[in-house]
Structure formats: C-alpha cells, structure tokens
Amino acid sequence: MLLERPAEEPITVGDIVHGLGGRSFGVLLFVWAGLSLIPAFVPGMSTILGLPLLFLSWQLAWGFPEPWIPKRLAKRTIARSQVERLAEWAQRSRAIERMLKPRLLVLVTGAGQRFMGVVALLMSVLFVLPIPAGNWLPGIAIAVIALAVARRDGAAAIVGLVLAVAAGGLVYALGFAGVAAFKNIFGA
C-alpha cells in the first residue's frame, strides 16, 4: 500500500493510478463525476470539468487496461496527508462497498466493460453540452457506471444504464424546449 512507504518517499498521481490498476477507471470517473456535480453556477464549468470525463470514458471504451494520464500529471506529487484523508474517506464509505459486489460480470468485464465505457462516453458528451440543468442526470449516470466498473457489479451497471436512458431523454427534452423557446423569443 502507498501509505506503507517511508514518509520521505513521495506519492505521485501515477503511483495511485497504477496502484488501483483496472479499478482506476471507475475511481477516476467517479471522482470527476462527483466534482462535476458540485453546484457551481459558473457558465461553461460543466464543459471544463466534463473534459476529463470524456477522456477517461473514451479510454475505457477503447479497452485501455488502465487510464493513461499525461506524464506531467503522473509525476505530480500528492501530500501524504491528502492520501491519508482519501484512505479514511474510502474506509467510511464501506456501506456503499457492501452494497456493491461482483455479480453479473458479463456487464462489467471484457466487452461489457467496453460497452459501459461507450455509455459513459455518450453521457460525457451530454454532460459537456451547454444545456442548463442538463448535466446533472448524465453526471449521476456516469458516477453509478463508474462504481459498477470499479466494483465489478453488473446490477449497478443496469441501474447506470437506466439512468443513462433517462438522462438522454431529459437532455433531449431540455434541448427541444430550449430550441422552441428560442424560436418563440426571436421568431425564427
């Protein structure tokens, strides 16, 4: 474990990603989806925060064994105290971990995992679209799919797929309503 290293040995982002192995896709997608769902009413923020979701989900769909991150980011060190806090948070989230268990593996391994990557990629595209309130449900769908991939839980993957379908419908409806409102206002 990374925290068992000598205190003077630095911990890098690359160490964490490599240490998580194939589970790192789910963990990183979950973290970015969670960060992206924090309410911030800054125009364009969902687009900026959604770009890592696009990048990671594309790699998952393409079948990368673990996420590729730029060398500059991989070499960035993280304070041991931050890694310890992250480990403590992971320990407190055991209730979620107990609900998620390996099952229906066909949905979260091999071709199924790549399919989940495609769905996450589609949700990431919806997430970055500049549709007011249109990024919440795609972000939640990505987070659920991320947990399913990280814990190899096909049942959670099904929940993520249902949320993805609902997100697609919601974003379509919001986009359609926005176009209709634009036509009414500007008479186009």
pLDDT digits (tens, 9 = 90+) for 39-60: 666 667 777 878 889 999 999 9
Task: Tell me what pLDDT residue 127 has.
Answer: 86
Beta strand pairing status for 77-78 and 11-12? antiparallel
Question: What percentage of the chain reaches a pLDDT higher than 90?
Answer: 32
Decide: pTM greater than 0.85.
no
Q: What are phi and psi of 102, to 5 degrees?
A: -60, 120
pLDDT digits (tens, 9 = 90+) for 99-149: 888 899 999 999 999 999 999 999 999 888 877 777 888 989 999 999 999
Task: Tell me what pLDDT residue 83 has.
Answer: 75
pLDDT digits (tens, 9 = 90+) for 165-181: 999 998 888 878 878 88
Q: Return the residue matching tokens 């229906």.
A: 104
Q: Which amino acid is at 43?
A: P
Identify each DSSP E strand in the chain by its residue range. Answer: 11-12, 77-78
Residue 5: both structure tokens together: 């290293």
More confident residue, 19 or 114: 114
Q: Where are the domains of the chain?
A: 2-186
Check: CB of residue 3 under 8 Å from CB of residue 87: yes
Check: CB of residue 37 under 8 Å from CB of residue 140: yes
Q: How far is CA 166 from CA 122, 137, 174, in A?
A: 13, 8, 12
